[in-house]
Each structure stands twice: as structure tokens, then as C-alpha cells.
Amino acid sequence: MPSRAANYPALSEDAFLARAGARLEEVYGPRRDEVLRRLTTLLAHHDGALDHQPRPTWSERDQILITYGDSLIDGERPPLEVLDDFLATRLNGVFSGLHILPFFPWSSDDGFAVIHYREVDPKLGEWQDIRRLSSRSDLMVDLVINHVSRDSLWFTDYLAGTQPGRDYFIEMDPQTDLSQVTRPRSSPLLVPVSTRRGTRHLWATFSEDQIDLNFANPDVLLEFVGILLFYVQQGARIIRLDAIAYLWKEVGTRCIHLPQTHAIVRLLRAILDYVAPGTLLITETNVPHAENMSYFGLESMPADASAAESDDAPASDTATPDEAHMIYQFTLPPLLLHTLTSGDASALADWARSLPPLPAGCTYFNFTASHDGIGVRALEGLLPPHEVSLLLELMHRFGGYVSMKTNADGSDSPYEINITYFDAMKGTRRGPDAWQVERFLCSQNLMLALQGIPGVYLHSLTATLNDHEGVERSGRLRSINRHHWVKEELDELIDSRSTPTREAFTSLKRRLNIRASEPCFHPEAPQRVLDTGPGLFAIERGPLASGRRLLAIYNISDKRQPLEIEALASGEWYDVLKDGKRWNPHPEEREILRPYRSLWLVQP
């Protein structure tokens, strides 16, 4: 049986105090000792409710389902109970992990404007439902750390001028030059708010309902440490740091990836390594790949030129990665979309070939779709602008939308594509065709073979169509990919003889089960991109210590492609997709791969 990696080592008290003290000094300077004392008191308060036993990290069995708490409803039971039933009856043993998107009371953005961090939205269920789900799989929970809802008690405190929320937010003179600030949205950065002290303008990176928190106030940091520990106590195994790149603000900079932000992520990592070793940290940073990689904590890149040239910019004090265990592979969704709609794998192969070896104890979180749109910033430097424009135009033809962001010069530019990944595969640049299901499944199968841990969005598993009615109801473009399935309706589609939902669900379920038993898909198994023509994409995983290696080969086009891959000529290969039988196809099939087909071949 394949096994997980060794247990993650617990951090000793002395090592923790050294790491935490260093991080707090980077953030709070002379207040370091005061904040460290308060932090250790807080940790001691939670100590009895935490499991200090080190847990294993990951293995080839790790596969994560991404879903909202109410993506499945039946009108009778709490949605979290419906989800639990669906996992038990339809997906038992398929996924090792479950990412339930924010399940707290919220006011907007489908959960990402949190009102109460320590409560479960009663429309979804209760904490006992969350704990039951966490007992069956590794639970990923969002720590929505950058901002909070205007309906929160903290914001009520701010308006009234009372503690603790009075100093939790960032007031800014509206005349301040903030043109350098990196924006993920086109909404105003500063929001006017009427308070007892008159009108104040508050920093709001994402929307007027999502007010950014002031981490220059250590009370805010300690508040979130307490929330983090509470989630771990409720069964969270993976903590997702939402929108973490924008955490720290400093006028005169881009206010993204600032050194203090990295220091706070490293502090949270140190806390988890100390009190709950084996609890994993994942950073959500929808940015170009080089910036994303910095969240592993190795030579963190400066936020901008001013930081790079400053003598005050802190340098990494260790060669060991000490930030996130996992980072989202944000480049993959748009680049794979470009690949399969253009029929050319050259850019995908070049990018995959350029990926550096993963640092020890780190891995990628691979995905093609999520609750958000398909970010296009990650394509910067990988595709020429005209290729990106062609992709955006095509997605519009397939029923999608494009969300914009504001640039430093005041202009707007594309930020993400809003479309379901199934409908994004409706055709090629020539238009819609009959290959949608096969093209879509090729995209998912390719993602599953890449080095890292795969995350599969529920609406990919069910081949969900664009939800234009949801967009009309909510007024939000992202609702196009946030459909609410009535469980009875979904069951009928899965059980029907010939529906895209049935084909996608059964095919992906089978492929996931095969993947979970193949040791070459361990997140730490090496990856090498093979030389092929533009119509194929091929990687080798392994060899492992045992000598076992796997070839994953994909025809990413709607044309038959010659299998001109040198590795296939070396020895005998066995087809893991056909119960490990010797790969001995018809001579023509040995030389030709049909459109959107894939091979997983191993040499034991």
C-alpha cells in the first residue's frame, strides 16, 4: 500500500519562541516582546483543546473536493447534512479532503464578507455538522483574514467608537495618493462611512461591504490567531488564507506581497507547527507564478521596487521553507484553457518545464475551477496580449463574462473570466463543436496527473452549465459558476443513461480512484515534461526509489496525433487505466492518439 510522507515534526518551544519573536519584530518592531507575551498567553489558553500529536503530511491518496456548504440542497434537511449524505453515498472514499467554502454568517460575496467568524450560518447547519464532515476527511476551512463584513460587530464598534473594533480598520485621507496600489477590482478603494466622529474613508480592497482590517494593530492579529485555533479545534486540517497577498498596507507601495504580509504568514505557520503539527497552511494569491512561489517562504520576493531597494526590507533568515505548505497553481486554469481551445500545448509545456523543484515539505494545489473566476493575471509573461484577447473573446462567445480590475493609471484591464469550466470547453477557436465532454475530461485528467495535490470543484464533477439565472438574481458575475443543485435533480442526471453530468461524474470518479492508488502521483514524486509536438502534452512522474515511473500523455487537440515519444520505445508499459494490463494496442493505436484521449502508462 502507498503511504503518506513522514509525520510533520512538531516545533519545540524554544524554536517557536525564536521564530515567532523574529516575525513579530519584522511586523511590530519595538512592540515585539509585548505582543509575544500576549501571543504565548493566548496559545496557553487554547492548549488543552488542541491535539499536539504530529500528523502525516500527504500522499497520492490526497484529493480535495471544493464546494459551498449549500451547493446541494433538498429543501428539507440542512444543506451540510445533504452534502454529508452525498459524499457518503456517491463519493465514499474518493476524496481525502473537503474544502467547504465560507460557511459562516455573511452579508455578500457568497460568504467572503464574514459577519461572525465563530458561527456556522444557521441556514447551512451547525458546528456538529462541520465536525462530522471533518471526521470523515481532511477539512479545509477559509480564514477570511483581509476583510470583514460591514454587518460585523467589529464594524458596529468602529461606527460607535468603542472597543474592540474602534481601531480595527484603516482610515485614510481621500486626498492621499494611492495610485500605486494593486487592485483586484474596479470598485473604489476608499469607502466613505458615517461615524459619530463624522465621515471617515476606509480601505476596502474588494467591495464597499468588505472592509479591510488593520493588522498594524496587534489586537487584530491576536484576534485572528484565536479564530485560527478555534477552527483547528473544530476539526480543520487545512487552513486557507483568503486574499492574503493584500493584508498589509503601506502608502507609497503596491500594497501587495509586502514583507510584513510574508512575516505574518510565517508567524501563523510557526504557530501551527508548534501547537498543531501537521495542520497545513495554503495561501490564496491570484497573481503571476513567480509572485505566487514567494509564499513558500524561500527568498520571498519584494513587493515592489521601493521594497527591493530599501535597507529596511527584511531578508529571509533561513533556507528552509517556513510559510505556506501549499500554494494555488493559479497559472494552470487559464493556461490549460488556452491549450485546449487553441489545440497547441507549447505554452503549457514551456511553463510546466520552467517550474523549479518544489522545496522540501511544500507542494502545489492544482485545480482548474473554483468558486472564483478563471484569473488571467497568471498569464502575464506566458502568452502575448493578442492570445489573451482571443481567449477572452472566445469565452464571451461561450456564454462567459470578464471581470475587470483598476490599474495604477486609472484604466481597467481584465482580471478574471467568469464561466463554468465545462462550458469553457464548448469548442475551439473555430467555435462550438461535438467534442465538449471529451475536451473537458481531458482538462481534468491532465490536471490530475500534475505534481501536487488536485482540487476538484463540485461543478466540474457534475459538468454544470453556466448559471445565467443566478447572475441575474444576484447581480454578480461570479454567480455563473455557483449553481445550487437540487439533490433530486442532480441524482436523476447522474443516474440517467446519457447525460454530460453522468459521463463527467462517472469518468472523473473512476479516474480519481485510479489516481489515489498510484504511487507515482505522490505529491513529492518528480515531474519531467517530455518533448512532443504541439498537439500532445506529456509528462513523466517518477522514477520512484523503487524504479517505478509513469507516463501521462494527452492529445489536447481535435485531430489525431502521432505518438512520437521516445520514452515509449524503452521496455514494456502497463496501462493503469485498464487494470494495469500490458499496453499492447493495435499497431495503429500505438502510433496514433485520438482526439482528447489520454494515457497513463507505468513501468513497475
- Phi then psi dihedrals of residue 537, to 5 deg: -130, 130
Whether the CB-CB separation of 205 and 249 falls below 8 Å is answered with no
Say what the pLDDT of residue 52 is: 80
> Residue 556: is it exposed, middle or buried by C-beta count within 10 angstroms (0-12/13-18/19+)?
buried
pLDDT at 298 over 90: no
Choose among 374, 369, 339: nearest CA to 558.
339
pLDDT band at 299 (very low <50, low <70, confident <90, very high): low
Local structure of residue 167 (DSSP, 8 states): G
User: What pLDDT does 95 receive?
Assistant: 98
Enumerate the active-site residues.
242
- Residue of 600, 564, 560 whose CA lies nearest to 583: 600
| Per-residue pLDDT at 317 exceeds 70 | no
Give me the mean pLDDT over the 147-155 stretch.
98
Phi first, then psi: give them for residue 140, nearest 5 degrees: -100, 130
The pLDDT tens digits for 349-400 are 999 999 999 999 999 999 999 999 999 999 999 999 999 999 999 999 999 9
C-alpha distance from residue 292 to each of 26, 261, 308, 352, 361 (Å): 21, 13, 17, 15, 16
H/E element holding 118? none
Residue 44 confidence (pLDDT): 95
DSSP letter assigned to residue 122: T
Q: Are 196 and 140 in contact (CB under 8 A)?
A: no
> What are the cell numbers at 11?
516545533
Of the candidates 434, 442, 493, the one whose C-alpha atom is nearest the C-alpha of residue 464 is: 493
pLDDT tens track for 9-48: 788 999 999 999 999 999 999 999 999 999 999 999 998 8
Q: At what angle do helices 79-90 and 127-136 cross, to 10 degrees?
A: 20
Let me know: does 65 contact 458? Beta carbons within 8 Å: yes
CB atoms within 10 A of CB 394: 22
Burial (CB count <10 Å: 0-12, 13-18, 19+), residue 411: exposed
Distance CA 59, CA 404 (A): 38
Q: What is the pLDDT of residue 319?
A: 54
The CATH number of 526-603 is which of 2.60.40.1180, 3.30.360.10, 2.60.40.2310, 2.40.50.140?
2.60.40.1180
Assess whether pLDDT exceeds 70 at residue 304: no
Average confidence (pLDDT) over 313-341: 82
Distance of alpha carbon 227 from alpha carbon 241, whole angstroms: 12
Residues 6+ apart with CB under 8 A from 376: 334, 388, 391, 392, 414, 415, 416, 417
- The most confident of the ranges 44-53, 67-76, 297-306 is 67-76
At 228 the pLDDT is: 98
- At 54 the pLDDT is 80
Q: What is the mean pLDDT of residues 309-335?
A: 72
Tell me how far apart the alpha carbons of residues 313 and 357 are, in angstroms, rounded to a whole number.
26
Percent of residues in the chain assigned helix, strand, coil, to nearest 5: 40, 20, 40
Highest mean predicted confidence (pLDDT) among 333-342, 410-419, 561-570? 333-342
Q: What is the pLDDT of residues 225-237, one digit of tens each?
A: 999 999 999 999 9
Bridge partner list, 562: 592
The sign of the dihedral angle between the CA atoms of 21, 22, 27, 28 is positive
Rounded percentage of the chain residues whose pLDDT exceeds 70: 95
- pLDDT, one tens digit per residue, over 512-551 is 999 999 999 999 999 999 999 999 999 999 999 999 999 9
> Alpha-carbon Rg of the chain, whole angstroms?
24
Q: How confident is the model at residue 4 (pLDDT cuts 50, 70, 90)?
A: very low
What is the CA 575 to chain-centroid distance, rounded? 31
Cell 496501462 locates to 575
* Domain ranges (residues) in the chain: 526-603
Rounded mean pLDDT of the chain? 93
- Left, alpha or beta for 229 (phi > 0: left; psi -120 to 50: alpha)? alpha
CA 303, 359, 371: angle at the middle one, nearest 5?
Answer: 65
With CA atoms as reference, report the closest residue to 361 among 296, 285, 264.
296
Per-residue pLDDT band for 50 (boundaries 50, 70, 90) equals confident
Check pLDDT > 70 for residue 307: no
Instruction: Give the pLDDT of residue 333.
Output: 98
- Binned at pLDDT 50, 70 and 90, residue 303 comes out as very low
**Can you tell me the distance from the alpha carbon of 353 to that of 364, in angstroms, rounded to the nearest whole number?**
15
Give the pLDDT band of residue 297 (cuts 50, 70, 90).
Answer: confident
CB 140 within 8 A of CB 282: yes
Q: Does 559 score more than 50 pLDDT?
A: yes
* pTM exceeding the 0.85 threshold for the entire prediction: yes
pLDDT (tens digit per residue) in 428-441? 999 999 999 999 99
Q: What is the pLDDT of residue 586?
A: 76
Give residue-wise pLDDT tens across range 191-207: 999 999 999 999 999 99
Give the pLDDT confidence score for residue 1 in this predicted structure.
26
For residue 406, what pLDDT is reported? 85
Report how far residue 270's alpha carbon sits from residue 262's, in angstroms, rounded to the nearest whole number: 12
User: What is the spatial distance between Cα 143 and Cα 12, in angstroms, rounded to a whole number?
Assistant: 25
Q: What is the pLDDT of residues 487-504, one digit of tens each?
A: 999 999 999 989 999 999
The DSSP H or E segment spanning 549 is strand 549-555
**Residue 328, amino acid:** Y
**Assign residue 224 a region: left if phi > 0, alpha if psi is -120 to 50, beta otherwise?**
alpha
